[in-house]
Structure 1
Amino acid sequence: KANKKGYVYAEDATSSDPKCTFVQGKMPVVKLLAKQKVDVTLTAVMGQGKNHIKWSPGWPWYKKEAELKVGKVENPALLAENCPDGVFTIKGSSVTLNKDKLVESNLVEYYAELDSGISLQYTDNIIFNLESFGQLSCKKMLEVAADMLAGKAKEMEALL
């Protein structure tokens, strides 16, 4: 409920369940003019994201682990110009690889094409990332996903 002029923010809402809160409290819900008021009842329902990703509590993605090898780089200046993510440190004609930045980079194939002194190989490892939208922690998302997978395995076992 709100009856004051100005913005009504998500954090102004009250919930009967203390665990049920808005992730972004400062998110404006509505702007009221003078003499306006609003009374809204909201219902939150836990889903599994089966029908649409918008019902998912987070964003998972994975990629193969890349391994770059730096040999004799022909044009370090060109590499410096085209390396926005800090994968390489370039001092004069010396090029060193920052392995910590390599994991986050999406430009590894580009770097291998940019200079013949850089070679790319993929390992057998997979890098899995999980970003929570705030409804559930990443740990809780993995626990729920593991429980769901175990349930599906039991269903499949019963069918065999």
Structure 2
Amino acid sequence: MAEIQMLKKDKKTGRVSFLLKNTNAAFVNSLRRTIIDTVPTMAIEEVEFRKNSSVLYDEILAHRLGLVPMKTDLKAYTLPAKCKCEGEGCARCTLKMTLKAKGPGIVYASDIKTKDPKIKPAYPKMPIAKLLKGQEIELEATAVLGEGKDHVKFSPGLVWFNKEPKITISNKQELLEKFKEKYPAEVFDKNGKINADLIMDNNLVDACDGVCDDLVKIEYSDKNFIFFIEPWGQLTPAEMVSNAAVLFNETLEEFETKLK
């Protein structure tokens, strides 16, 4: 059975990495693809302009609004295709938003207003447009849940994985003197020795691989994988993984049913 071990968690960016043990690349990649393509998030889908005297065309402004990451509440909303309204649009699958701004000044994501306090821009200070004196924007937007496989604006983040490296270091003095210039300075400790933790912490495995196997030998596991998640603000990494697991199981159950 696969085991999970947390490695790093950056509170500022939300980025996390963890070790998946005793599994295989097929499963890990399936988890990655499920998060990117299938875990839904909220994003602006339609924009109705009332006023727009900015230098930006309506289409450009609508495109920018669609790419603004929105905090998402998956318990309160459902995909339009799975909603009881059959995609016609209701409070269960859509959310109306408004934006009113007059120049001079910068229009920020925080200027987008919604009736649901849980659904709001993940990055309030994201600039959308610059207005000069006398210019204004007034619009109504409709946000819906969507999946990354339909449009990247619905994808919850960047996800990738690497095979776990096993680093063996000899630190032989003659080899250190010969190959010192070939290795990044960040991998050497205060005593001038190559340190495995520094290689990992600075993400310099590839830079050290193959330079001199007698000094630094790097092998890769086929059963253990380092999994990275860099969220774009709509969901937390925990929400991304837990929802991906549910969706993955649903897909397997559906596949099993069709085979019977």
- TM superposition score normalised by structure 2: 0.54
What percentage of aligned pairs have identical amino acids?
Answer: 33
How do 1:70-81 and structure 2 match up within 5 A? Answer: 70-71=169-170, 72=172, 74-76=175-177, 78-79=179-180
| Higher-strand-fraction structure | 2
How do 1:76-115 and structure 2 match up within 5 A? Answer: 76=177, 78-79=179-180, 82-83=183-184, 86-89=186-189, 91-92=191-192, 95-99=193-197, 101-102=199-200, 105=203, 107-115=204-212
CA distance in 2, matches of 1:68, 1:62: 18
Q: Is the 8 A contact 2:167 2:196 kept in 1?
A: no
Q: Is the 8 A contact 2:184 2:207 kept in 1?
A: no
Structure 1 residue identity aligned to 2:180: L
In the TM superposition, residue 113 of structure 1 has moved relative to its aligned partner by 2.1
Greater CA deviation, 37-46 or 63-72? 37-46
Q: Is the 8 A contact 1:89 1:98 kept in 2?
A: no
CA distance in 1, matches of 2:248, 2:196: 37
CA distance in 2, matches of 1:20, 1:6: 25
Q: Any runs of at least 4 consecutive aligned residues in structure 1 with deviations exceeding 3 A, and if so which?
A: 51-54, 75-82
CA distance in 2, matches of 1:49, 1:98: 37
Structure 1 stretches of 5 or more lacking a match? none
Q: 1:18 maps to which residue?
A: 117
Structure 2 stretches of 5 or more lacking a match? 1-99
- TM superposition score normalised by structure 1: 0.83
Listed one character per residue, the Cα deviations across residues 87-110 of structure 1 (whole Å, up to 9, x for unaligned) are 332524xx14142651662x3243
Q: Give the count of matched residue pairs.
A: 156
Structure 1 residue identity aligned to 2:121: F
Find the residue that maps to 2:142 and give its secondary structure.
coil
CA distance in 2, matches of 1:42, 1:154: 37
Bigger relative CO (Cα 8 Å, ≥ 6 apart):
2
